[in-house]
Amino acid sequence: MKIAAAQLSCVPAYIPANVRQLVALANHVGPSGPWTGCGGAALWAPGGTLLAEADDHSTTVAIADIPEAS
């Protein structure tokens, strides 16, 4: 099964939604040595809300304001 960047970024959302922790996923995009990164770096707030997401084709840094715990 081939996993696309959009599918990859859905998987980590399970973690903050269920364990109420901030999640950061870092990934490179394009070829690097023997590897080809699929991009899609992202940040999720506790509870699973997507805060920022990089695309799957350009050099991008995902930046987000982290909400205070309630």
Q: Are 15 and 21 in contact (CB under 8 A)?
A: yes
On whether residue 59 sits in a domain, the answer given is no
Q: Which two tokens stand for residue 68?
A: 């205070």
**Would you place residue 11 in the very low, low, confident or very high pLDDT band (cuts 50, 70, 90)?**
low
**Eight-state DSSP code of residue 62:** -
On whether residue 55 sits in a domain, the answer given is no
Into how many domains does the chain fold?
1
Residues 6+ apart with CB under 8 A from 27: 5, 8, 37, 38, 39, 40, 41
- Residue 3 above 50 pLDDT? no
What pLDDT score does 70 carry?
63
- Does the pTM of the predicted model rise above 0.75? no
Residue 42's identity, in one-letter code, is A
Domain range for residue 39?
5-44
Q: What are the tens digits of pLDDT across the range 14-66?
A: 777 777 788 888 888 888 888 888 888 888 888 888 899 888 888 888 899 88
On whether residue 17 sits in a domain, the answer given is yes
On whether residue 16 sits in a domain, the answer given is yes
On whether residue 69 sits in a domain, the answer given is no
On whether residue 19 sits in a domain, the answer given is yes
What pLDDT score does 12 carry?
60
